[in-house]
Structure 1
Amino acid sequence: MEVICVLILVWSTLTSNALPPVIRIGAIFTEDQKDSSVELAFKYAVYKINKDRVLLSNTTLVYDIQYVPRDDSFRTSKKVCRQMEFGVQAIFGPSDPILGAHIQSICEALDVPHLEARIDFEPLSKDLSINLHPSQEHMNKAFKDLMTFLNWTKVAIIYEEDYGLFKLQELVKAPAAARTEMYIRQAGPTSYRQVLKEVRQKEIYKLIVDTNPRNIQKFFRAILQLQMNDYRYHYMFTTFDLETFDLEDFKYNSVNITAFRIVDVDDPQVKESLEVMEKFQPIGHAILNKSGIIQAEPALMFDSVYVFAKGLAAMGSIKPMNLSCDVEKPWDDGSSLYNYLGDVDDLRGLTGNIEFNGGKRSNFKLDLLKLKKEEIRKVGQWTPSGGVNITDPNAFYESHAPNITLVVMTREERPYVMVKDEKNLTGNARYEGFCIDLLKWIAGQVGFQYTIRLVPDHMYGVYDPDTKEWNGIVRELMEKRADLAVASMTINYARESVIDFTKPFMNLGIGILFKVPTSQPTRLFSFMNPLAVEIWLYVLAAYMLVSFTLFVMARFSPYEWNNPHPCHQESDIVENQFSVSNSFWFITGTFLRQGSGLNPKQSSKSEPSRLFSFLNPLAMNIWLYMAGAYVLVSITIWIVARFSPLEWKEPELCDDCLLKKYSILFEFDEHCEHDASSGIGSDAADDLASLPNNDNDIDEVIESINDPCLSHEHADGRTLEILENGFTIGNSFWFAIGSLMQQGSDLNPKATSTRIVGGIWWFFTLIIISSYTANLAAFLTVERMITPIESAQDLADQTDIAYGTLEGGSTMTFFRDSKIGIYQKMWRFMESRKPSVFVKTYEEGVQRVLEGNYAFLMESTMLDYAVQRDCNLTQIGGLLDSKGYGIATPKGSPWRDKISLAILELQEKGVIQILYDKWWKNTGDVCNRDDKSKESKANALGVENIGGVFVVLLCGLALAILVAILEFCWNSKKNAQTDRQSLCSEMAEELRFAVRCHGSRQRPALRRSCTRCSPATTYVPAALDLPHINGPMNLMEIQFIPESSQHAQRRDAAHDGPEEVAHQLRRRHLAATLRWGHVDVRVHLQRHPGLLRGPVQLPPAAGGHPQLQGHSAVPRSGEKKCHAGT
């Protein structure tokens, strides 16, 4: 008995923890779903579970199906409450969202799990609700991702049900791209055609269609009737059942039809399940489509039943309970069962992996389907975590479409598109150019035929703010009169907002085209260019300052005062000019290329490496001109020197060399007036007749005279010799200019102070001349191009040079819409300039540039093309911006991405670069520019380069001749006054002597009289010492002409003896010593050659008086003036 009680207790415990043998479930279907595939799928799932004794081995599922009107929520609620009273443990359905919301509220109140297979609009999770359909949030995200991938920017959304807008509201609120344009319309079977017409009129080619699957065939018919089934249109359906519909009418055109699916019929497990289902007749055949594919809703219903069974099995025990909607007492095990249902995992159904998060489907996969090559094919998939993954890249970029012919709009522009000259050509053969070749490559890559048309208004396309319309190619694309635009069309924001562009096939920027500045005409005085005007003025000022400083320093330094005639050949003292200081001075002067007045007696010559290489820097005609200039200057110097009295000076010879060296004639001219303190006045010798006639008396008079002009005795008894200073004010200026010209001046500083001044000046001239020479080479050998503008800033800052752009082009838009100040300024200038600076074509712009005073703002590629074909054109500055050329398509064109991929491939293969070289560099009209920067040697200088130097030389020679003539006239006037004869006769006499060629190295000295021993007006023969005449002199003629009767009478002394000649010479010596008057001594040696046999013996003067010795006896300009002794 006890054993029986224990067994009963154990059995009751086991039975209390086990599932009941029968579990009742309820299902709600709308009346239109009676015997539908959804209902059959539900029944088939219950059948499969009951037959499978593994999942629920001891439990049988029993369903209670109720049919309700789609628009009657009250009756639906009553039927659900009746099911609750019969003790159902779960409610399935309905598919209608409104009815489903009412049922869900009842289930939530009674804690009965509610399993759905419909789209849910609510983003939040609901208690006791399990939905196997992906949420609308996930679906909208999938649509967005696909739109982004396909680059849809203009989309039409067509929905049929009233709640369709709620389904897609998130897609409308937050489109795939911020610039996406949405057009939303509701349409039913009766209004499909009307709505599609509106879409076509608005030129929208991308459509999202959310229509009832029962009416989808009617929608397909409307598409065909309106012929909206070409390649431009792309339809994305929200249904999961695209492959279950008949698409036979769309298989042979290029329309794009895309949709997602949730049932992967290619999955082996799903395929096996469908095969088993198809064999279960007649239900299986009714569930599956004619193609053997199950639709999404039946599949979701089938999986929902399995989810319930899986959760129920996991729970293990349950206590069924009859519920009432009136009492609203919840089911005790309802929440537990709901939790088990939500935790179902490791379940793969017809819709793939089944997992839930808060009652919503998660971690699922959607297959992307597309009509391709006469069938629906899987081309990718979408997951909530990974987004769109395209498994077939060619799905949206067909590589071959031979039956498609596209209209390609272009614009004639060299070298992109050009019309051939042949008149018998037709069609596409009429055109050639870079874009034509590129189009051929792209058509071959993508796979289409094309017809080329030229844009009617010859414009690329620009937006007119006044009319608010586009023109040119852009308008043609917007109005769908063209499928592509292949031209030098710039990608910019304004155009991109109304049309689409492919990836750029060429990168460029805006450049400035300008005429090559012509070489400035070579000026004769171009040698002045290396130094600025102020530098020349500074050099002149430095020259003046150094010259004056040298003059002052030489006056103060005692070392600059020296004996001007150290002619003492009998001296036993000799001097070496190369002392230590002079040696250093010699090296310094040599280094500074100025000389030093120290000349080595011998020098060695080195043979040049090339005998005539020094001729290379100058052209041959320049060397010939220089040779002519050398001859001309030499003759001019000779002529000027003969006319200028300042170039005549006495030879500086010693006494014993006088008659030996001078065999033609000499003239002694001396005038001097002594002070009253000298003891000899001008009134003491009014007439030569008052002089003694006896030779001894004459010698005594001469010996007794101490001429103050020869020596000066101070009160202390010291006798000072007369010295001269070589650095007169004139010589100082001559020294400075000689140093500057690197020629020397025969004036050599001797004192430390003057050497410092000279050395500093030499260093200064070294730098100046070296800098000038170095820069002169560049100025004369390098062709200088002076460009008035160098950048856009230079253009904006001036108004003389006009500048403009192509009218209606992207460059014009760039300046018009720019926010940069300098470009705004340039736009205002271009907009207000009259006549207009805008051109219709690039050729017109280039022509205006060639005409001058015009700069053309254009794309760098076109600029490069123009510059390479015309050597008179050049680019100024760099690029103003960076952009690219692209192939334009209408908004949302499917060809955009296909062509972009083709362009990228052509770039990687180098095809585009090959085409660029073909049309830019390899044509026969390329300009050959001389790259002077790469020349190996400098150009020889021509007359046009340094001709100004010859002009300066000729002007200097002319000035010298003019000055010589003035000096000649002035000197003749002075002599005429002195000689008391007419100016004409004096000029005639001087001119006759000047034009003599033979025997004219010496001339009679100029005759002047001085009043106060003025050195500036004293001329003395170069060497004359006649203190005594001892012995006969065989002179042919000796004339003494007193000043009173000079040139009035001549006396022939041919028969006078030597005694008379000596007498006359002594009287002349006395007269010169007394500064009596003018004395002419003319010695003609032609008839007395005996004078050449030996020197004339002249005994020294008695009494130790000084002798007359040429120059040294008379103060000159710059000498220390002598005065009578005290």
Structure 2
Amino acid sequence: MYFKVSLIISFVLINLLKGESDRQKQIYKVGGIFSNVDHGIAFEIAAFSANNKYPWSEIELVPFTHIIAYQHALKAYSTTCNLLRDGVAGLFGPSSEFSSAYVQSICDAKEIPHVETHCNFNIRRNDSLVNLHPHPRSLSNLFLDLVEAYRWQKVVIIYDNDESLLGVSTILGLNKKEKVVVIKQLETQDSGNFRPALTTIKATGNTEFVLACSMDVMEEVLKQLQQVGMMTDIYSYIITNLDVQTLDLSPYQYAGTNITLGRIIDPEDTEVMQLAESIYKFRKSREVNTEDEVLFPSWKMRYETALIADAVQLFYETLYDLTIDKKKSITATPLSCHEDSSWNEGYTITNSMKTKSVKGLTGLIRFDTEGFRSDFNIDIMELSLGGLITVGQWNSLRRSLNIYRPEKTSTRSGVENIFNRTLTVIITISQPYGMLTETTTQLVGNDRFEGFCIDVIRELSHILGFNYTFVIQEDGVNGVFNLTTGLWNGMIREVMEGRADLAITDLTVTSERETAVDFTMPFMNLGISILYKKPEPAPPSLFMFVSPFSAMVWIMLGVSYFIVSLCIFVMGRLAPAEWQNPYPCVDEPEFLVNQFSIRNSLWFTMGALMQQGSELAPISISTRAASGVWWLFVLIMVSSYTANLAAFLTVETLVTSFKDIEELASQDEIKFGAKKGGATANYFRDSNLSIYQKVWSYMVNHPELMVDTNEEGVRKVETENYAFLMESTTIEYVTERHCSLAQVGGLLDDKGYAIAMKKDSSYRNGLSKAVLQMQERGILTGLKIKWWKEKRGGGNCAAKSEGSEATPLDLQNVGGVFLVLTIGTILGILGSFGELAWHVHKKCKQQHKPFIRNFLDEMRFFLKFKQQVKEVAEVSINDGKPESAELDILKK
């Protein structure tokens, strides 16, 4: 019986605590309008996943999903108005451009954040719109770069609608470069029969095609291309639709056709697979499975579904930053489509979303200054005998296309084999990429060198079976193009002129260098960042002991003290039990006394507040109840103060000189620079962003701040008020060994280190595949841990941090308490003199004696420190007899 009662009580308490936790959360409703059921499912799953990802967060998203017909603008309008009446904080969808325009117009008028995930060719800068889809113009550059990399001279674009043609609009500009571009549209009114049009295209003899078709017809177009004989090894296709990987391409993988496509989501990514599994479970629980699609594997997930999940994550983290980190109060309000009211906080959320970067299912989500997503990565895929394989990557911001084969060709004859060849590999002495081996014995040959890049070449030789000989680039220059002479220097020139087969070091892949040499797939991804001294702890405040409570809490504490004292005084006078007989021996006293005078009431509450108590003891029920409540209040406040004070005294607040490149460029105290002629300096030189141009202008005007080596830059950071712009991986290496230095801000760009070789080298394909194998096996990650965190002093700073003890409190930390003690004591002494003066003043009035004489008499007695008994100047009379007996006893 006792167990059952305890179980019931526990259940009730758990529910009460859960209810209290729920009441503390700020609920934000979000509306989703979709035409695809999977989009709606992904929207709800993403909202719940965001809530569960941050269980400690005080915000919670509640999704409201509506499925409407595609292009049903009127339904979209009415649904939007209904959601606004419910007080949503943001709207997602719909996918139809026509319906989305109606939703957008309402959101503009009401200042409600509107998040789109579909490809919008009419996209424009808008205060309330956030579109996570890669910008169509940037995406079009991918297919242009592929055509140019494959060196196609005549390109045939096959498309089915205007939107698909707009997606490859940049290819049309090839006509101005003495290349032929032919456009062929597949008419859709023939009930899906494209064979006549395809047969006509085949008769032209063209073999290189850009296939720009929507997913509605893509599967049928591929099938009919095979039927008319255009899926053989002489044909090459670049497919522009990023969802084509979701189709079954197995019927075409054995035909030898060169098919290239782009992919923005990785179906083998853990989070992608988790979302696919969640969609499958959701379908099963809601019984929304299609006829033949019970399972939902991750490779069948279309990228707009992933974009919706990314959009919800971005929205949630934006709200989290605004409400939790920035302490901004955001409350959604119901709105009517028929009134002029709007939501004041809407633009704040939209602008914050456009300035935030998050890692999502579709890669890094980051917006440019115009609010467009123009910086993203696309995996380049090819159809092989084993299915789709990754053969490279393309970055939209740098227009950097890195593929394994510079030309698309069906023949493999004449390809030189790297097996059993001896290659000359040029390196630079640069930590930790290439270094001289630390040893007491004399070494020769390749044994003289060690480092990350040395181990990379060693692993590649094991995979591909080649031999190698290391040579050093004596001047340490990676390669800079001289505009005056038109020549390259450094390692790039050595490779171009054939004195070295490969070049490997911290060599950044840039578009300028790719015009001179070929690069493998990057073996390390990185970006530019800032190296500077670690933030210094802020000097402790003299009155730090006041910090645990805000000014309002201190004021309320003081007000509470006086109010409770006054209440106890009033209750003491009202309660009969507080009026006590001063002489207990007298049964029928003539008068009663009350211990709670106003001064005693103040002293009683002060004693409880200071946890010292007093000689006063409440007698009546009312005063005891009030005292108990006051003691409980004091207990909680003192405990809270003690806990907070411990945190304030032990936690150090760091003072940062700057937080990012904008603040660094806007100040004059801290000098900064980069490596002369390096890829970092060239990045700022070639950038079109105004802030980066400002940085480059500073570098040009202060050439003395540019250094020849990274080591020199690190020394300047340690010894001067100097910030050094360099690659993030090198910063990571430096901060592992120089504990006084740290990276400031995030990455300013996205690039990679790769192996350089002569243009059109036959080694490129094999080396790139081997680098990819090393990535997949985790070899590159292991090598980075080895040379960054283990070798040559790696992990030194982490060990110091783990072994550090609590810092003892200095006088500066608690000096305010001593100051309060000193001031309080002085005020107490001055107060005692004031009391003495007031006492003398009253006695002078009674005795009619001079004030100075009485005051001097009192001071003379004060200086007699051994005397503990003081005579009464005026003898009081009671029944005509002096009461001096007690005084005589005390004197004796």
TM-score, normalization by structure 1: 0.38
TM-score, normalization by structure 2: 0.46
Bigger radius of gyration among the two: 1
